[in-house]
Structures are given as structure tokens and as C-alpha cells.
Amino acid sequence: MIWNAQHESMDRDKLAKIQADRLCELVDRLYRKVPFYRRRMEEHGVKPADIGGLSDLTRLPFLTKDDMREVYPLKLLAVDPGELVEVHTSSGTTGKPVVDAYTRKDIATWSEAMARTLAMGDTSRGDTVHNAYGYGLFTGGLGVHYGARLIGANVIPISGGNTSRQLTVLRDFRSTVLTCTPSYSLYLAEAGHEQGVDFAKLALRVGLFGAEPWSEGMRREIEEKLHVKALDIYGLTEIIGPGVASECEYQDGLHICEDLFYPEIIDPDTGEALPDGTKGELVFTTLTKEGTPMLRYRTRDVTYLNREPCRCGRTAVRMHRLLGRTDDMLIIRGVNVFPSQIEEVLLKIEGIEPHYQLLIERREQLDSIEVRVEMNERLFSDEIKNLERMERKISEALHAALGIHSRVKLVEPKSIPRSEGKAQRVVDRRKG
């Protein structure tokens, strides 16, 4: 089901015209109302009159994660503070939190974007959405909530945590749609298995999973263990929260709500725009946002764009599922590798569970990576020499696929710490 066919399946020339008009209006508004943006444009030697269309976008300055510290809490505000109806922030674990301040219209935009996302999983009236994203300052919980409410679905605002209660509620209320992080869905499956919950007998049909990068291998695991169709969804606090992009039923890239959020791909080192199909850093401009608009915001997420028509009938550009982040890209002895690529290799190997941790150290000036991965019960009961053979096999598979030498250590089932939010996959002990 397409929630808003008029916008999601719009003729691309017509769409480009709307995007261009919205961009020009935005730049003019930011120049007049936000001293921070005005100063940036002046430093960059560009004025609103220089921006006549989308091709002029690259003349505008970027906004970076570092800038977000400078503008904390509300220096990007483009409306009278009395217009605000809600504020969300990121967790701020790596510095000052990022703030998104919403007007009434921004909440309506967010609800619309999330309704499009939920509809990609065929969510409609009559569905029950088990929403295990955290409610609070984090955007996940309320974002899903607003979208489901706009559609007219029944929402269970269970939020994160208390896994045993989650399982009871899933069963008793016959939830049909699950929303949470992909790693938490596997945790639910595992806990359910221990408590005798048969996922095949639940009413769950589809799961919308996001807020952390995950792989095709992990999708297969989730679909098998939870008996759902697993769709990847994407969003970030800076832009609006969840609802920026989502996979349709064909699971072949995430359609971006590009009439609302204009995407670019750039070379993270030079800032140069890159053509479709080329991997680089994803940049967004919020075309209609009122409260805290973002102009060319560098997400640090790495992906590429695809403008080919999709079988679902949507014309909106697709981004490939996240390949990683420019800041979690690991450089191991000069080789660039993302944790998600390691995951992809691991999950193709029989006997391995989708729980792993990467330990990176520097010894005598050389980087070393240890991949700790859980084996299943059957492999665990095997002979030591078979385990050693398995460790060698995994190490060789990683080398063949990614060109890195790693030490692989099989660990006991359930010995890697579980997370109820985003999984902690990498422990980097290198100094400096």
C-alpha cells in the first residue's frame, strides 16, 4: 500500500520543481531568521538570490555534527519559541545532544513521513503496532506512535525493556506489526524461545527495524526466527526522527521521502558531490521543516543512491541500506571495513549465532582485530579440534571477503552481552 501516492509516486520532473521551490524558500527563510545560517552563508560568499534551483545547492555550506555543539540548544531555531510544541534530543553520549524542535506543522510532517514508512509494511486500520522503540527524548517511540495514529492503527506504546512483559503483550494483544531495533528483535526471539513462546503462532506479520546498521544476513535471521517480513527503516533526530526513508515490500533499498528531505551523496574527504551509485556520505536538507531546519546536514552515514523506478510503483529515490558510518568505519592496517561487512560474512557460516563483538588493539604499532562470535549449542558441544578448524575457516572467510587478517575466537552461547537498545559491536582499545 502506498500512503501518499501523489508524492511518493510523483513524476520526477514535477518532483524536482517542488524540491527547487522549497529549497529557494528555505534558504531565504534561514538567511532572514537564523543568524547562524546567515553568518555561514556570508562566510561562504553566497546569498539567497544566488540560489535559483537544485543545481545551486552545492554552493551552500555544510552543517556538521561538530556545528551541532555550537548551536546547542536552540541556535538553529527559525520560528518564534512560542510556535514550538515538542522537543527531542539525541542521547548525547558523544558530546552535546543534538536537538530537534518541532512546530505543530513539523509534527504533522513527521506523522506523514512515518505513516508512509508504516504503510510500506502494509500497516492500516485494524493493525496492532507493538512499538518497542523507547518513548521519551529519543525520537523512535513517538515517531512510530504519530505515524500509526495518523493511519488509524492501534498502537501499543510498550517502549523498550522488560522483555518478558513484551512477550506476554505480543501474544495477548495479537500484535501484527513490530517496531524496535534489529538487535532487540533477535533478543526478543531468543528470550521467547526460552520462555516457550512460539513466534509462528503469534499474529506478527511484519517488523520495521532501524536505529542501527544491520545486514542482509541479520534480516534472514530475524525473518526466520520471528516469522515476519523484516523491513529496514531509517531516520535521525537531526532531520526529523524515524520516517526519513524506508524499504518497501521489495526490500531493495530505502525510499527517501524526498519531497520533504532532499538527499545528496558526497565524498567525505573532499565534500564533492558524487553521482548515483557511488558510495559516500549521506547529506540531507530538510525542505519543509519550520522549527530547526537543517541545510546540507552531513549525517556521517555511508550509502549510495538509486533513481531507477521501483517495482512497487514509487518513484522516490532509494538509498542502499546503510553500509556504516564515516566514524565507525574501522581502519585495520590500512584496510577500510565496516562492522556490518564483518557481520555479513559471519552470518553466512553455519553454526554461528548473530551475536559478535570486535576487539581492536594496537600491539607494537600494528592493529590487530579479534572477532568474538557465539557458536550455537550444537557446535558448542563439538570437539575442540573441530572448533579450531571452525575458527580458521571463519578467519579465512573474513580474509577472502574483506582483506583483513583477524583472530577469531568462538565463545559460548549467550556469553556476548545483549543490548535492549543499540548493540555495542566494537571495542576499540587503540589509543589516539
In the complex, the residues that contact Zn ion under the rule CB under 5 A are: 248, 310, 312, 314
Based on CB atoms, which residue is closest to Zn ion, 296 or 314?
Answer: 314
How many residues can be counted in the chain?
432
Minimal distance, residue 310 CB to Zn ion, in Å = 3
Rounded to a whole number of angstroms, the minimum distance from the CB of residue 205 to Zn ion is: 18
- Cβ closer to Zn ion: 10 or 371? 10
390 and 379 Cβ atoms separated by less than 8 Å: yes
Contact of 97 with 328, CB cutoff 8 Å:
no
Q: Are strands 324-325 and 318-319 parallel, antiparallel or unpaired?
A: unpaired
Closest to Zn ion by CB, 133 vs 261, is: 261
- Of 212 and 252, the one with the shorter C-beta distance to Zn ion is 252
Q: Give the cell for residue 152.
A: 488509524
432, with CB counted inside 10 A (0-12, 13-18, 19+), is exposed
Residue 249: CB minimum distance to Zn ion, A = 7
Nearer to Zn ion, 310 or 379 (CB): 310
| Distance set, CA 24 to CA 38, 55, 110, 176, 329 (Å) | 14, 11, 22, 42, 35
Nearest to 235 by CA among 248, 244, 247: 244
Which DSSP symbol is given to 288? S
Distances (CA, A) of 100 to 71, 78, 259: 11, 12, 19
As a whole number of angstroms, the distance between CA 263 and CA 280 comes to 12
* Least CB distance to Zn ion at residue 338 (A): 25
Choice between 314 and 355, CB closer to Zn ion: 314
31 vs 304, which CB is nearer to Zn ion?
A: 304
Q: Shortest Cβ distance from residue 255 to Zn ion (Å)?
A: 6
Q: Residue 302 Cβ, how far from Zn ion at the closest point, in Å? A: 22
What are the grid coordinates assigned to 429, written together?
Answer: 582499545
Minimum CB distance to Zn ion, residue 236 (Å): 21
Please state, in angstroms and rounded to a whole number, the distance separating the CA atoms of residues 76 and 99: 9
